[in-house]
Chain A
């Protein structure tokens, strides 16, 4: 099947979970990454159980924060 990851079309096997995709994409510090699937944010606890389908679009967003102190 074909999915779009960070704006790029990619071929992958059926049954691919978000957790597995994160590993395949070598996402650094994945515990601080927010994932959107078709513009909807996916809870971290659902990465393992969320299976991707043909035409899905996934984005990885790093948490961005800090402060002056």
Chain B
């Protein structure tokens, strides 16, 4: 299993996350069989540099839009403005959807780093991310 996304989608996530600094940015990804077809940029209703929560209304709208396009929600993404791209204890504790992939973008260094994880039962396993031109 891997997550594949276009370079343009990766760049869009990075640009959005940087625009939201110092706060964390967040959203959803939809597609098929691990291939991201659409990135959704959602409001971080926590508006915090250290936490995020998706807006449920926007989450519902994205879910319905993805389904209408013939995709499914593959998972969510959020940024870590100042820490590595790894699930924090809070990320793990709040990962309630066992079917979702959790993408984390780190902006801690000059070069952004995007990693993906499957999180279940208090444990996180890394899922390879493939960025394609």
Interface of A toward B, CB cutoff 8 Å: 7, 28-29, 32-34, 36, 39, 41, 59, 61-69
Contact = CB atoms under 8 A, between A and B. Distances in A.
A61 B56 CA distance: 8
B125 to A, nearest CB: 16
A69 B53 contact: no
A34 B67 contact: no
Contact of A67 (B56, B63, B88): B88
Nearest to A30: B96
A48 to B, nearest CB: 21
Interface of B is mostly: mixed
Q: How large is the interface on B (under 10, 10 to 19, 20 to 34, 35 or more residues)?
A: 35 or more
A61 B88 contact: no
A67 B90 contact: yes
Interface in B51-109: 51-54, 56-57, 59-60, 63-64, 67, 76, 78, 80-83, 87-88, 90-91, 94-98, 100, 102
B51 A67 contact: yes
